[in-house]
Copies of this chain bind each other. A is one copy, B any other.
Amino acid sequence: MKEISIDKIDRAILGLLQTNADLSVTEVAEQVGLTTTPCWRRIQRLQQNGIVTKKVALLDASRLALTTTVFVQVKAARHDGKWLEQFARHVEGFYEVVEFYRMSGEYDYLLKVLVKDMTSFDYFYKRLVKGIDLNDVTSSFAMEQIKYSTALPLHHL
């Protein structure tokens, strides 16, 4: 992975864009103290470097009736590479899974699952445990989402 230098201005640009990608290049330029062209070039560079991966619209889950967030912890049945790979494929395919991590600690995997209600979760759960050998599965329900941010903390740059 290449080393890329991010200066104070790049950091400011990233901070703005990861909060609001609707800002025009001109608006970003003003806020970071540049004119449009050099600002545009920096943004281009950040995109080509893969630092900015994409721009997306964020939707309000509650207004779309997606009110149930569940964290599912899983213990692997075995720890050979083949099983791990198989499980990763199995889980990735579920559209309900929005985040998926291999973990250290007691449980080997953590899944964040987004569904509209308990019935939908049950439907997911049955499909999840079917067709693959799991050692232990625990589901914890989110009662309240207190914070959710797609913006990375850039304070270390």
Contacts and interface: CB of A to CB of B under 8 A. Distances in A.
A101 B144 contact: yes
Given A102-B142, A104-B141, A142-B110, A58 B63 contact: no
Provide the main secondary structure of the chain A interface. mixed
B21 A156 contact: no
21 contacts: A14-B57, A20-B55, A21-B21, A22-B54, A51-B60, A51-B64, A56-B56, A56-B151, A64-B154, A65-B157, A71-B101, A98-B150, A98-B151, A102-B146, A103-B143, A104-B141, A104-B142, A110-B140, A114-B152, A114-B153, A115-B156
Interface of A: 1, 4, 6, 14, 17-22, 49-66, 69, 71, 88, 91-92, 95-107, 110, 114-116, 120, 138, 140-157
